Structure 1
Amino acid sequence: MTADEHLAGQWREWRHARISELSRPYGWTALVAQHWLKEGDTGVVLDGLPGTWAVSDGTVLYTAPASGENLVVDGEYAVGTVEIVPGRNQTYGHGRSVPVYHGVREVETIPRTTDDGDSIFAVRVRDPRESARKDFSGLAAYDYDPAWRVPARFTPSAREDVEQVTVETGVRETTSRIGVLSFELDGRGYELALIGKDASYGVQPVAHIRDLTSGKTTYGAGRVVELQFADSSGERIDWIDFNYLTALPCAFTNFVTCPLPPSQNHLDVEVLAGEKKPEVEIDRVLTFQST
């Protein structure tokens, strides 16, 4: 059995890294804009960005202007029309996508769907000056409590992509279900649907929950905790440590599409562990207008 002092010490180091992560130059809190494109769009001018944008056969295209400001795509100024490959540049790895900059700002595209199942793309802008001006040293969390490190059992299943409702009305995000995590709290059994995030090192299992603290002492749209596989095959998880719960990115910025947790992940208990809600609440303004 791992000693409590060790568990608490590891958590303190992680907590420091978590606070630092929130101030990264191109992290979640650097987001300053989220534009939307749909299939068939052509010659679209996006506020604050150079050139024009289009979507053709599921491909996001940027056409450089004849002169003036331009995007730097994978280290070189864009010439003519180039593809801006969607990806998760700043989170879990980004597949084929490459770094894209407009001055000091980073530009990325992400795929989403509408409630009707149509494909859409967001063009997001991150500005390091935005994250640099913010102070997260006061972001509170419950003290580490080893009682919230709970034995668990993972039952893997065939990967299933689900178009999950998000905080951005009318927009859905693909979440990949990879199985069920079973555990007990106060003698009662619970089962969570787990998400599998594609990362450069493999699949990262994530639990996304709401509980009776949500909207009170913790963020209302829920919290997430990254889990660890106990084997190389990705078929065993031994623990869920609720002390590592963090607020979703939408707790810190308006320019995201955080999925809402599935109903089976709503726990009818107070999880008095993990990150509390930020002192400053985001006044959410929708960026997507359904046509």
Structure 2
Amino acid sequence: MPTREHLEGQWREWRHAHVARMFRPYGWTSLVAQYWLEAGGRDVTFEMLPGTWSVEDGRIMFTPPASGPNLSVNGEYPTAPIEIIPGRNQTYGHGRSVPVYFGVMEVETILRSNHEGQPLYGIRVRDPLKAMRPEDAGVTAFDYDPAWRIPGFYTPTELTDFEAETVEAGVRESTPRIGTFTFEHKGRSYTLVLIGKQTATGIQPVAHIRDRTSGPITYGAGRVIELQFADEKNTRIDWIDFNYAVALPCAFTNFVTCPVAPPENHLDFEVLAGEKRPAKDVARTMTYKAGENSAS
């Protein structure tokens, strides 16, 4: 096992990079709007965006206005209807989408589903001038403790898409499950369900947990921990390090669809490691209303 000094030094560098990424100009805290379209929605207007928006054959289409301000799509102003491709994710940066701006604001689209399994299409707006600062959010963490770096073993399974409930009532998000990670704590065995985030460099295994600190000490909707594969074939994970637990983006903004932690990942002990609850609370209000922007 590496020395404490090595582990703590690596964690400090990672912690700095994580906070910087969360609070960068177009990071999660810059979100200022989240709009929804349902299948067949046509010629819908949104308060903060120009033109009209539609869903055609499962594609999110933007129709520019006849005159006035326009979107910039991959460096050009469109003159005809154009698809705004989902996939530009500010945390992981993958997908076929291209940069879309409206003035200083960045625009992205996302795919979700409702409780009936029907597709939902989201449009998000990020304003770098409204991005929160770490000191304003009151982001802190426990000191690094190597006792929370716990060995265990990974059991891969066939990748399956699971439609998880989210903090946005009526909206589900697909979370690809890739296997389980089993570890021991104080003589008891625990098995966590792992999801596999698609990233620019491949699959990133993630555990979404709740524990007895969730709410009073850490973020109430739970925290996520990125784990690391120990081999090139992605068949081994040797450790879970709870010092790397961080709050979900919904701790900092209302305009997200963070999944709810699966029941299997509710731990019956306090995880006194990782990121603490932000000092500033976000007032949770819903952005989706069923049937509001669907086919007429």
Q: Specify the TM-score bucket, using the shorter chain as the normaliser.
A: over 0.9
Across the aligned residues of Structure 1 and Structure 2, the Cα RMSD in angstroms comes to 1.1
Output one character per residue of 1:114-140: Cα deviation in whole Å (capped at 9) or x when no partner.
Answer: 011110111000000111566358411
Partner of 1:146: 146
Q: Distance in 1 between matches of 2:141 and 2:133?
A: 22
Partner of 2:14: 14
Q: Distance in 2 between matches of 1:137 and 1:289?
A: 29
Q: Distance in 2 between matches of 1:198 and 1:290?
A: 29
TM-score between the two structures when normalised by the length of structure 1: 0.98
Partner of 2:290: 290
Partner of 1:180: 180
Contact 1:22 / 1:136 at 8 angstroms: preserved in 2? no
Output one character per residue of 1:149-170: Cα deviation in whole Å (capped at 9) or x when no partner.
Answer: 0001000000000000000000
Partner of 1:79: 79
Tell me the CA shift for residue 234 of structure 1.
Answer: 0.7
Contact 1:93 / 1:198 at 8 angstroms: preserved in 2? no
Q: Distance in 2 between matches of 1:99 and 1:36?
A: 20
The residue matched to 2:253 in structure 1 has which SS? coil
Q: Distance in 2 between matches of 1:2 and 1:37?
A: 50
Partner of 1:195: 195
Tell me the CA shift for residue 91 of structure 1.
Answer: 1.9
Contact 1:72 / 1:101 at 8 angstroms: preserved in 2? yes
Structure 1: state its 5+ residue gaps: none
Partner of 2:118: 118
Partner of 2:257: 257
Output one character per residue of 1:192-243: Cα deviation in whole Å (capped at 9) or x when no partner.
Answer: 0000001110100000000000011000000001111001111100100000
Q: Distance in 2 between matches of 1:228 and 1:24?
A: 24
Partner of 1:167: 167
Structure 2: state its 5+ residue gaps: 292-296
Is 2:49 aligned against 1:49?
yes
Q: Distance in 1 between matches of 2:138 and 2:247?
A: 14
Contact 1:19 / 1:136 at 8 angstroms: preserved in 2? no
TM-score between the two structures when normalised by the length of structure 2: 0.96
The residue matched to 2:131 in structure 1 has which SS? helix
Q: Distance in 2 between matches of 1:20 and 1:40?
A: 39
100-109 or 8-17, which moves further after superposition? 8-17
The residue matched to 2:14 in structure 1 has which SS? helix
Contact 2:88 / 2:96 at 8 angstroms: preserved in 1? no
Identical counterparts, % of pairs: 60
Partner of 1:224: 224
